[in-house]
Amino acid sequence: MSFVEYGDTIKDGDTAIVFLGHESMFPVKVQHGTVTQTKYGVIRHSTDLIGKKYGSKVTCSKGGWVFILHPTPELWTMNLPHRTQILYSTDISIITMMLELKPGSIVCESGTGSGSLSHALIRTVAPTGHLYTVEFHQQRAEKAREEFREHGVEHLVTVTNQDVCKNGFGVSNIADAVFLDIPSPWEAIGHAKSALKAEGGRICSFSPCIEQVQRTCLAMEEYGFTEINTLEILLRVYNVRTISLQIPDLGKAAEDNSSTGFDSSNTSNQGSPCANLQQGTVQFKSGVPLREMVGHTGYLTFATKS
Residues annotated within the binding site are: 114-117, 135, 163, 181
Annotated binding site for S-adenosyl-L-methionine: 114-117, 135, 163, 181
C-alpha to C-alpha distances, 60 to 29, 45, 55, 174, 247, nearest whole angstrom = 17, 11, 15, 50, 54
Distance, CA of 201 to CA of 193 (rounded, Å): 9
CB-based contact 61:42 (threshold 8 Å): yes
DSSP states of 96-157: HHHTT--TT-EEEEE--TTSHHHHHHHHHHTTT-EEEEEESSHHHHHHHHHHHHHTT-GGGE
**Is residue 27 within 8 Å of 115, Cβ to Cβ?**
no
CB proximity list for 156: less than 8 A, separation 6 or greater: 4, 122, 125, 126, 127, 129, 130, 131
Specify the 3-state DSSP secondary structure of 186.
helix
